[in-house]
Structure formats: structure tokens, C-alpha cells
């Protein structure tokens, strides 16, 4: 069911307030990827248990499978049923048209990522497309996020360690961040300081000194993509510096698949798969709860929600 423009604007106003609270309170909103309804249930239950504000997010693949309007309706249903403070992020939207569709569906957070579809996109292309989305987002007040570079890796579990020297070549710079924010007018800058999409056999290392320099250079919100596989102490320091949003995907997917595989192995004669999902949901919920704790967001849901 389509939301009214008035309802969308109120939701986006609430989302802006949530991110402002996070920055002021030195914690971060977790942005947790949805693959299906089970992961939405897991995130919702974690948010209830931790009394925390959360984002759920979908990328282009989930958009094609689930549909923007369906996700909007499911999230609104769970918000109403469980009384959680929950917002939706359209993550790595690969085109201006796709980003606009997310805005029209009432998503409160929009990440426009032109380099996702075209790794060779020029900074001028990225800036022009981002500016167009920023202008269109005024329709609802949605928060727009972007960056002038391509994030490496992928939302998967990798067996080969990443090359840290290669990753450093794509790091943000304070000067580049300032120039991009000023050129586009975005609400949130996606910083690259060692965060990388995916789960790897070695832990990730975040350059917190660089993060502080980026924070000093820009006044907008800062997000971190690729939060999976990152030691928790980095998150604790990052939120103190001023990160307000952290994305988690691969850790949830690993918990989902490994637990489901175990359930299938232990229940070879059960074909009603729904009967096997409780432990799967519990495993994903445990991941989400641990991230909420690391982000310092436990107990931070706005009082009127609960």
C-alpha cells in the first residue's frame, strides 16, 4: 500500500532526528541487510530486545526479488506490531532512476552508488548523478548518501585474504571528502578507511586517525560500509569520532546459511522448512544484537516508540 507524501515526510523527519541523536550521543545506527522475511524478523526482534533504533536495507538484487513497495509494507507492518524504531535504506542504488524509485516508495535513506554499476565512472559522473538525487530527495526529505569512489569486495564469505596495500589505494582523503560533500550536498558521506565489503579469513583494520581527519574536514554524517568481520573495538572508537551509520550484511548471511545447513542436516525428513527457521532466526538475531552493542545503540530508541 502506497504511503501518503505527508507520511513519507514525517518518516524522513524522524530518520533525520535519529541520525542526529546518534551523532550527538556518540553511537551508530546499524543498517542490517534483508534477504527475506526471516532476516527482517531477526532484526526486529533484536531491536526490541536491545531497545535500539535500527535501519534495514536492501540492495538492487533484493529490490528485484522482493520489490520496493513490498519491503516498505513489511517494515511498516513490523514497526506497528512490535513498536520498533526502524527505517529503510536503499543501499548501493546503481542509477539515478533506481534511487528516485526508492524515494518515491518512501525509503528514508538512499545510497546512490553510480560506481557500483560502472566501476569506471568518473568523479564528474558520480557528482552529477548524486546532485540529481539530492535535488529529487527534497520531495520527501530522504537522507542521501554517496561517495566518490568504488567500494571493493562483495557481500559474501571469502576464503582468500584481502591485500591491505591495494585497499589503501581507495581510502578516502580529507580533501577529497570535503570537495565531494561541497559539490553534491549529500547528507551522509560513506568513508573508506579500511572497511571492505564481505567476510574474510583475516580481520579488517580501520584507520581511525584517517577517520578523525575526515570527520574534521566535513560536517555531514559519516557511514561505514562493510562492517562485517571488523573487531568490535574499531566500532567503539569510530562512533566516538563521529560515525553515525554502520552497514552489516555478510556476518548475517554466514549465520543464516550455516545454521540452516545444520538444521537441514539434523532434520532430513522434515520438508516443512518453516519449522526449521526458529534457530536460523535466532542465529541472525544474535549477530544483530552483538552489532547493536558494539555500535553503542542499546537503549537508544526514542521513548515514544516503546
Active site residues: 91
226 alpha carbon, distance to own chain's centre: 9
Residue 71: closest CA among 52, 61, 46: 61
With left for phi above 0 and alpha for psi between -120 and 50, is residue 30 left, alpha or beta? Answer: beta
Residue 239: closest CA among 17, 27, 30: 27
Query: What is the number of other CB atoms lying within 10 angstroms of the CB of residue 206?
Result: 22
With left for phi above 0 and alpha for psi between -120 and 50, is residue 67 left, alpha or beta? Answer: left
Amino acid at each position: 500500500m502506497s504511503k501518503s507524501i505527508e507520511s513519507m515526510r514525517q518518516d524522513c523527519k524522524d530518520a533525520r532526528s535519529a541520525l542526529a541523536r546518534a551523532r550527538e550521543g556518540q553511537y551508530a545506527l546499524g543498517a542490517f541487510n534483508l534477504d527475506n522475511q526471516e532476516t527482517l524478523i531477526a532484526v526486529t526482534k533484536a531491536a526490541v530486545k536491545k531497545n535500539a533504533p535500527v535501519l534495514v536495507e536492501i540492495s538492487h538484487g533484493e529490490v528485484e526479488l522482493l520489490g520496493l513497495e513490498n519491503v516498505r509494507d513489511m517494515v511498516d507492518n513490523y514497526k506497528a506490531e512490535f513498536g520498533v524504531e526502524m527505517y529503510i535504506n536503499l543501499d548501493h542504488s546503481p542509477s539515478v532512476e533506481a534511487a528516485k524509485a526508492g524515494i518515491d516508495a518512501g525509503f528514508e535513506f538512499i545510497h546512490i552508488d553510480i560506481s557500483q554499476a560502472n566501476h569506471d565512472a568518473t568523479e564528474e559522473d558520480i557528482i552529477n548523478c548524486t546532485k540529481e538525487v539530492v535535488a529529487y530527495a527534497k520531495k520527501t526529505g530522504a537522507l542521501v548518501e554517496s561517495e566518490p569512489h568504488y567500494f571493493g569486495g562483495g557481500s559474501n564469505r571469502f576464503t582468500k585474504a584481502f591485500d591491505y596495500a591495494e585497499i589503501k589505494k581507495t581510502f578516502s582523503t580529507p580533501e577529497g571528502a570535503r570537495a565531494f560533500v561541497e559539490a553534491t550536498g549529500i547528507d551522509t558521506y560513506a568513508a573508506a578507511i579500511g572497511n571492505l565489503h564481505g567476510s574474510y579469513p583475516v580481520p579488517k583494520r580501520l584507520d581511525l586517525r584517517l577517520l578523525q581527519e575526515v570527520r574534521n574536514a566535513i560536517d555531514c554524517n559519516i557511514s561505514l560500509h562493510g562492517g562485517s568481520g571488523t573487531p568490535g573495538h574499531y566500532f567503539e572508537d569510530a562512533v566516538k569520532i563521529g560515525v553515525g551509520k554502520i552497514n552489516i550484511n555478510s556476518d548475517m548471511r554466514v549465520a543464516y546459511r550455516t545454521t540452516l545447513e545444520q538444521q537441514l542436516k539434523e532434520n532430513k525428513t522434515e520438508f516443512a522448512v518453516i519449522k526449521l527457521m526458529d534457530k536460523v532466526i535466532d542465529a541472525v538475531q544474535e549477530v544483530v544484537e552483538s552489532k547493536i552493542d558494539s555500535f553503542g545503540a542499546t537503549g537508544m530508541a526514542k521513548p515514544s516508540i516503546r
